Structure 1
């Protein structure tokens, strides 16, 4: 057998467009495929495409429309708003499936890697679905089971599902370890992170790391800016707006950065004692890799982020707060009294990718 048998010659990698996390967590996966000698083609649009193009200017990037989910200003109405958009989301899933059928005729991919894009699978090509969210958090248990069945129905169209988490200790908790798994080969690939722990002197007491969809990103930003002058400390605000034209001026005690690519972001985070951020799963994986002290403010209405913030606080990995009643001074005081600890984790790397590839059935009959 050829030693390169399990190295696909040409790979398509496409992240979901809900926030930036799906795109950023694909970066180490892309790097590993490139390190093995695969040709990688990317598919994305909007801010996700900008991030990937910034990190990999040499790679082909195919324009692929996203799900373009619209979020509400009130967290309490988010579930209803998402439900009303369901027909359009289902239409997009169908369109991306048909898009891939046409693109495959031109590019002849040997492997397809879809980060949470349900329609990006092909009958004739090994197709991998990446998700940490096997159990979608819904307040109603009947509805939660129904949504899980729909989720699994889509996942089971793929040849395999790769989960960016460990079996133990688990960063995603019940989200990635439900009682019932999909009927498709499942592999825990390890947490994924662009970041690693750096030994740097502290320059900023507090780093406010903004991310996620609008309008909630801007709402949190305004809340922070109205209170930041009250803090007697050197602060950093990273707005998380790649390609944005409108900038904000620095305040007396706060440096403001529009967006930071991987290397710059890692340096900034390593120079900060506390990181105040959303509890999106990609942010959590990266900050745990850097062993940073986190203050987590889940996006209102996003039950996954609310669950993760509570779960991290129970484990002693981060302090959970809320956006609706955000009092920065009180929250930061609580963080100074909180006992943080960090577990030992085996993160995804190129060796792990080779193990995952060895489990793929390359020839379908």
Structure 2
């Protein structure tokens, strides 16, 4: 417990890009509270909705949307992103002005930004969280990485949720040569805990990420799971006001789950079928679960992680269009993700404030 925090107010702002940035901020928000800080949560869209459900008693604020749109065809992902760049830059400018006002209004003493580029102040300690010191964008990786590193340099610290060792999860994404950034490796961050529970499901399907790709994968997998021999729990990753549960033959469908129920369901499931998003990978490490990955089409970072982990003999993967339910039999030929130390020295990290 940090007794020097004097109940300082910390603004924590995750990017609304799927649910990963929001969910990995959950353990940070809890750690802030445990160390006598007062967190204020800021985001937009489903990321903000999710955090409001997790922390109904905390102050939440709405930031402008980056309006990131995914292409239906993965090959067009980069061009769709480039097209939405002017809107995104406008949102970042707006974000900067809003944050400036909030610092005065809410007497904010520090900032934690999870990939929100406009959430920063020169006047108070500002920390940036990312697992991408290098930003993969195919043949433009060098320029996107340089631009990202230029932004990170402004911050007082950069927290990377991985370990700085030969055996690590992010590879080239989270480790750079000749590093001049103020990087601190936290170890994998997860809101999950491993529990010794009896297995209830042979397969857990968990979807995440922005539309339309989340919906396209849902449609594809609903057909595929019909051929699966065993009990399936299928979490669609749609955040709505009420939870909806539906039973169709051997498959139990949920629109979403809050952390406690999700944690229990993970622990009660034998195998997991999911995206290769980095937050999901960290959850699987913590829970010591074997998995099969389907990276989001066109998302270079997820494709890189899936390829890396398959090459290392840890987790198999398939492309979205080629996936067949029979592919899950490959899981047994892979080692599964390594058990890494996930204890974080929050007191030491929070000294930045």
What stretches of structure 2 of length at least 5 have no aligned partner? Answer: none
The answer to whether 1:355 aligns with 2:351 is no
Helix, strand or coil at the partner of 1:174: coil
> Superposition RMSD on alpha carbons, in Å?
1.7
Residue number in structure 2 paired with 1:339: 334
Q: CA deviation at 1:88?
A: 1.4
TM value normalised by structure 2: 0.95
Alignment-derived partner of residue 131 in structure 2? 132
For 2:274, the equivalent position in structure 1 comes to 277
**Which moved further from structure 2: 170-179 or 296-305?**
170-179
TM-aligned CA deviation for residue 257 of structure 1: 1.0
Matched, 1:102 2:101: yes
Contact kept, 8 Å, 2:67 with 2:87, in 1: the verdict is: no
Partner of 2:29: 30
**What does residue 84 of structure 2 align with?**
85
The equivalent residue for 2:171 is 173
Alignment of 1:1-365 (within 5 A): 4-5=3-4, 9-140=8-139, 143-168=140-165, 169-181=167-179, 183-243=180-240, 249-329=246-326, 331-336=327-332, 338-349=333-344, 352-358=345-351, 360=352
- Cα-to-partner distance string for 1:265-290 (whole Å, 9 max, x where unaligned): 01111111110000000010011100
Report the Cα distance in structure 1 between the residues aligned to 2:5 and 2:142, rounded to whole angstroms.
36
Deviation per residue, 1:50-80 (Å, 9 max, x gap): 1111111110001112212011110000011
Q: Is the 2:288–2:339 contact (alpha carbons within 8 Å) kept by the matching residues of 1?
A: no
Q: State the 1:43 CA deviation.
A: 0.6
* Residue 158 of structure 1, CA deviation: 1.3
1:7 and 1:357 in contact (8 A); partners too: no
Task: Check 1:72–1:340 CA distance in 2 against 1; reply closer, same or farther (3 A cut).
Answer: same
Q: 1:166 to 1:246 in 2, by over 3 A?
A: closer
Mean CA deviation greater in 151-160 or 128-137: 151-160
In 1: Cα distance, 2:108 partner to 2:343 partner = 23
SS in 1 for 2:10: strand
> Which is bigger in relative contact order (C-alpha 8 A, separation at least 6)?
1
Check the 8 A contact 1:238/1:257 in 2, yes or no: yes
TM-score when normalising by structure 1: 0.92
Contact 1:67–1:89 at 8 Å: present in 2 too?
Answer: yes
Task: List runs of 5+ in structure 1 lacking aligned partners.
Answer: none
- Residue deviations 1:75-95 (CA, integer Å, cap 9, x gap): 000011101111111111111
Q: Secondary structure at the match of 1:154?
A: helix
Give the superposition deviation at 1:103: 0.9
Q: Deviations over 1:21-71 (max 9, x none)?
A: 000000000000100111111112221111111111110001112212011
Cα deviation, residue 179, structure 1: 2.1
User: Aligned pair in 2 of structure 1 residues 8, 120: CA closer, same or farther (>3 Å)?
Assistant: farther
Q: Distance in 2 between matches of 1:348 and 1:243?
A: 32
CA distance in 1, matches of 2:247, 2:64: 35
